[in-house]
Amino acid sequence: MKLCSLANRKTLVGTILLFIGSIIASAAASVPDPEPATGWQSKEAAFASQFMAVTAHPLATQAANTVLKNNGSAVDAAVVAQLILNLVEPQSSGIGGGAFMLYWDAENRTLFSFDGRETAPAAANSDYFKDDGGKIIKWREARLGPKAVGVPGTLHLLHTVHQRFGNHSWADLFAPAIALSRKGFSVSPRMAKSIKGAQASLQRFKATREYFFTEQGNPLPAGHHLTNRAFAKTLEIIANEGITPFYEGVIGARLIESLKGDSTKPSLMTSQDLAEYATLSRPPVCARYRGKAVCGMGPPSSGALTVGQILQLIERFDLKDLGASPEGIHLILEASRLAFADRARYMADSDFVPVPVEGLLSADYLQGRSQLIHPSTSMGKALPGQPPGISTAQASMQQFESAGTSHLSIVDTKGNIVSMTTTIESGFGSMLMTQGFLLNNEMTDFSFRSSKAGRLIANRVEGGKRPRSSMAPTIVFDSTGTPVLVAGSPGGSRIICYVVQALVGVMDWKMNPQQAVSMPHFCNRNGRTDLESHLDAEIIKTALTDLGHEVQIRDMNSGLHMIQLLPSGRLLGGADPRREGLALGE
């Protein structure tokens, strides 16, 4: 197959950099995103000299900036932003879900990573997703109702990091969300479209039906003035009494009671499961790329490991010269096949299964794996490798992950940084609502099967275990250990592709953050290649098909939020135009 000429390649790359048109509707995936793409909003890069926040909604970004302006820390801003996102973007995250956070302590030059991932109830076992007849239930049914809910961790994480790194009082940080809950806000076009897209499932449960629909039974339209007094009461209790009422008191008791409403799919969660929840401080996982350290969250997230593998697998190629051409895209897609093959076999909660973290990022191992990448042809489906440190023979298993997630990137006046990806799993989570907030469906991030061909699956259900995630909050450091990039995205398992592409965009293709988060997406999770609909998608599809890829053009619903820390000390931010986010600072 003939590769594109240099002239054609430069034209194509230029078109991609100038891509600001609306995303075109495309063929549906085998399992549609429960949180649909909601249109294109052209955005410009944001500049600041002191602090910056990038979140998925203007109200959350503005509240975070008010805190930062008043000498609040990056953690203070993250608490405020998350609580407001729970209101204005309830389909994506909230205190009924889980989160991972990277925190850079600028004064002590120390990077922390905190695991606020949901956990399985202690009584859960390998039969969790089987019906009374012993058959595995379908994902679409499993994600609805009490049995889908894992023990929430987001609130615990926020409290844990605030106690260590917060400047403002806990109660003060709750005031903006409490006031907004009572005063009300305007339902955004994205929230309205999400409600409409999930209306059949939302109507199955009384609390969500009453909150997300008008008195006439219609999905709330864009512009509808919405209040949430139940959430205001919940937040007032937590503001005044801390997180004890949630994990060991009245809020937790009501949460457990709300899980008993569907006897056909009962939850196994108990008050003891809530009381025993803990945020875990884990070692960050870092990979070397182009002389920089790309750091993120280790197991139970597969994010940093898979992102790191992809980057190290492509490092031997001259991506700077190739640019975002079919040849350059092909190399990244091939590296993704290899990394996702390893992910499917080896990555899960390392407290329950051995994960060869060092081996998966070993330079010698990845140099060998990289030789499987051929510039002129696709390898097709990749097999997992044999990284150093393997202690058990596990089975490979891909598991569907949907896109109900959000990401915050924040830098404060002292240079402290938060990169936090937060989720309730699918759009609107389990569709269950209690005391003004939605509950996650994180249990469906586990493998529904416990074994395959006589081998155990790493991401099988076990009591107290945290399901594997693809969330990839990321901070990149230069050769002196100084942070230069903050990034992350929602998007299910495609999060990994989105983050890699944005990092390559800045580090190799010299884009600014807004260009990097705006360029058309491509992704391969060791199967079909997904290509985002855009002006030149058919041209790229033809070129990739000639290289041996099976290509599908489709919507790809990211929510990338990135901050670049420039050598001058200025901050440059970008918010994904596919959502309603805002980058703002001073």
Q: Which of 189, 128, 167 is nearest to 449 (CA)?
A: 128
451 Cβ neighbours under 8 A, 6+ residues apart: 126, 395, 457, 460
How far apart are the C-alpha atoms of 314 and 106, rounded to whole Å?
31
Helices (H), 22-91: 58-69, 74-88
**ω before 300 within 30° of 0 (cis)?**
yes
The structure tokens 């499993």 sit at 142
Give CA torsion, residues 280, 284, 285, 286, to 10 deg: 170
Catalytic residues: 405
CB 487 within 8 A of CB 503: yes
Q: What is the CA radius of gyration of the chain?
A: 22
CA 195 to chain centre: 20
Q: What is each CA distance from 326 to 135, 217, 282, 394, 522, in whole angstroms?
A: 43, 48, 38, 35, 10
Q: Which of 544, 499, 29 is nearest to 328 (CA)?
A: 544
User: Which two tokens mark 510?
Assistant: 């010299």
How far apart are the C-alpha atoms of 154 and 135, rounded to whole Å?
33
Q: Which of 574, 420, 499, 430 is nearest to 81 (CA)?
A: 420
CB 162 within 8 A of CB 170: yes
User: Which two tokens mark 476?
Assistant: 């990149």
CB 561 within 8 A of CB 417: no
What is the DSSP secondary-structure string of 170-218?
HHHHHHHHHHHHHH-EEPPHHHHHHHHHTHHHHTTSHHHHHHHB-TTSP
DSSP state of 147: G
CB 155 within 8 A of CB 243: yes
Which amino acid is residue 434, in one-letter code?
Answer: T
216 Cβ neighbours under 8 A, 6+ residues apart: none
User: Which two tokens mark 586?
Assistant: 């001073």
CA 357 to chain centre: 20
How far apart are the C-alpha atoms of 301 and 252, rounded to whole Å?
26
How far apart are the C-alpha atoms of 52 and 65, rounded to whole Å?
7
DSSP state of 536: T
Which amino acid is residue 48, in one-letter code?
Answer: A
Q: What is each CA distance from 469 to 235, 343, 524, in whole angstroms?
A: 27, 11, 17
